[in-house]
């Protein structure tokens, strides 16, 4: 989405008016990218859910236009659709977050499919694609991210071969390991914290979005959401936080109203109906104080006092991470 010369020109220009024009152009392209990514993510999640349901039915198979491999025993999430090529890499990264396993997202281009792959850190994508190289028209990449182009008629063969190779990289315990950046009390989750976290962007390989361990939340509502997700309403004192757990339908069955829990989540801001609110994108839930989450002395200390990320942001800036 957009053209890279505009970004280069913005960095090189000395003219303020030209810089403002280029910045506005890039911001428009960025909004378009976000909207497209959100749309494709919804379609990909629906395709994965339909594929999983079809695979478990008596007839087997998958939904037309989508090939999906999802579930506890699967080594990878694989899906394709009629999507923009420039978006599939972003979608693959989000699907890794959703399912805790490598993801392959293909863009259908008539007789060929162009796909992007992202790893969860347990599968070397470069080596795995090399092992499938006879299937491709072209391919390349490294351990964490890769891509390829394949004839549409060979896609099913790729899904079988890649899925088998990916399964060998899944440990005996397939649960995703979560690296928590900071642990804090529920009352310390506020807009100031969210703004500090945004300053740590852009995120990606080498600079993942921060994960919070939020302690002492009371579940006031939990329900299954369409698409294989769970929605939770979490009370901390006199107010509540909304939570969404993508790809975790199990939480709607294992978490009950009245439970006091600790959650690992990303903190985001959302707008709906003209109102802004904070939301927790939940990765996991455990009973409060059960020590299900391993915290270091540093994160434990963060629970004992109100949290400020100002020092962390300053440190990240001096280390070369844009603030």
Residue 194's pLDDT is what?
93
Overall number of domains in the chain:
2
Give yes or no: residues 219 and 113 share one domain.
Answer: no
Closest C-alpha to 167, from 115, 102, 97: 102
Give yes or no: residues 154 and 227 share one domain.
Answer: no
Residue 181's pLDDT is what?
92
Domain final residue, candidates 109, 133, 167? 167
Residue 129 corresponds to which tokens in the numbers above?
């694609």
User: pLDDT tens, 197-206?
Assistant: 988 887 776 7
> Can you tell me the distance from the alpha carbon of 89 to that of 105, in angstroms, rounded to the nearest whole number?
7
Residue 31's pLDDT is what?
87
Q: What is the phi/psi pair of residue 74, to 5°?
A: -80, 145
Give yes or no: residues 50 and 162 share one domain.
Answer: yes
> Can you tell me the distance from the alpha carbon of 42 to that of 242, in angstroms, rounded to the nearest whole number?
19
Closest C-alpha to 203, from 170, 229, 181: 181
Q: How many CA atoms lie within 13 A of 169 on its CB side?
A: 21
Domain contains 21: no
Q: Strand, helix or coil at 96?
A: helix
First to last CA, the chain: 23
Residue 301 corresponds to which tokens in the numbers above?
């200390």
- pTM, whole model, 2 decimals? 0.62
Give yes or no: residues 215 and 285 share one domain.
Answer: yes
> Can you tell me the distance from the alpha carbon of 118 to that of 126, in angstroms, rounded to the nearest whole number?
10
Q: What is the CATH number of the domain that holds 149?
A: 3.10.310.30
Q: Which residue has the tokens 């939020």?
A: 214
pLDDT in tens, the chain (323 residues): 667 788 899 999 999 999 999 999 988 888 888 889 889 998 998 888 777 666 555 444 444 444 444 433 468 899 999 999 989 999 999 898 888 789 999 999 999 999 999 998 888 999 999 999 999 999 999 999 999 999 999 999 999 999 889 888 766 565 667 889 999 999 999 999 999 998 888 777 678 889 999 999 999 999 998 877 899 999 998 899 999 998 888 899 999 999 999 999 999 988 877 888 899 999 999 988 765 555 444 343 333 333 334 444 444 443 443 33
Residue 291's pLDDT is what?
56
| Largest separation between any pair of C-alpha atoms in the chain | 65
Give yes or no: residues 186 and 312 share one domain.
Answer: yes
Domain contains 9: no
* Containing structural domain, residue 286: 182-318
Residue 129: exposed, middle, or buried by beta-carbon count in 10 A (0-12, 13-18, 19+)? buried
Distances (CA, A) of 65 to 51, 61, 68, 129: 10, 12, 10, 23
Which H helix or E strand runs over 130?
Answer: helix 125-131
Residue 292's pLDDT is what?
52
Closest C-alpha to 93, from 171, 208, 251, 245: 208
> Can you tell me the distance from the alpha carbon of 188 to that of 21, in angstroms, rounded to the nearest whole number?
39
User: pLDDT tens, 46-69?
Assistant: 888 777 666 555 444 444 444 444
Q: Do residues 115 and 146 touch, judged by C-beta distance below 8 A?
A: no
């Amino acid at each position: 989405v957009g053209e890279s010369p505009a970004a280069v020109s913005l960095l090189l220009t000395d003219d303020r008016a030209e810089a403002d024009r280029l910045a506005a152009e890039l911001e428009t392209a960025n909004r378009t990218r976000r909207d497209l990514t959100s749309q494709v993510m919804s379609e990909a999640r629906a395709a994965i859910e339909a594929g999983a349901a079809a695979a478990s039915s008596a007839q087997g198979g998958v939904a037309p236009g989508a090939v999906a491999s999802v579930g506890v025993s699967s080594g990878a999430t694989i899906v394709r659709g009629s999507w923009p090529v420039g978006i599939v890499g972003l979608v693959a990264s989000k699907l890794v977050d959703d399912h805790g396993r490598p993801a392959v997202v293909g863009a259908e281009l008539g007789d060929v499919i162009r796909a992007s792959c992202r790893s969860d850190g347990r599968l070397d994508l470069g080596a795995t694609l090399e092992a499938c190289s006879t299937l491709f028209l072209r391919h390349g990449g490294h351990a964490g991210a890769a891509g390829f182009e394949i004839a549409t008629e060979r896609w099913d063969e790729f899904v079988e071969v890649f899925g088998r190779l990916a399964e060998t990289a899944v440990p005996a315990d397939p649960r995703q390991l979560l690296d928590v950046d900071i642990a804090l009390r529920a009352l310390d989750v506020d807009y100031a914290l969210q703004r500090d976290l945004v300053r740590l962007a852009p995120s990606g390989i080498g600079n993942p979005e921060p994960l919070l361990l939020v302690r002492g939340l009371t579940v006031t509502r939990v329900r299954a959401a369409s698409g294989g997700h769970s929605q939770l309403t979490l009370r901390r004192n006199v107010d509540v936080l909304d939570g969404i757990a993508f790809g975790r339908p199990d939480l709607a069955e294992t978490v009950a109203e009245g439970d006091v829990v600790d959650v690992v989540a990303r903190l985001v801001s959302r707008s709906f109906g003209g109102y802004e609110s904070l939301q927790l994108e939940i990765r996991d839930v455990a009973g409060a104080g059960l020590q299900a989450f391993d915290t270091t002395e540093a994160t434990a200390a963060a629970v004992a006092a109100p949290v400020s990320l100002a020092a962390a942001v300053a440190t990240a800036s001096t280390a070369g991470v844009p603030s």
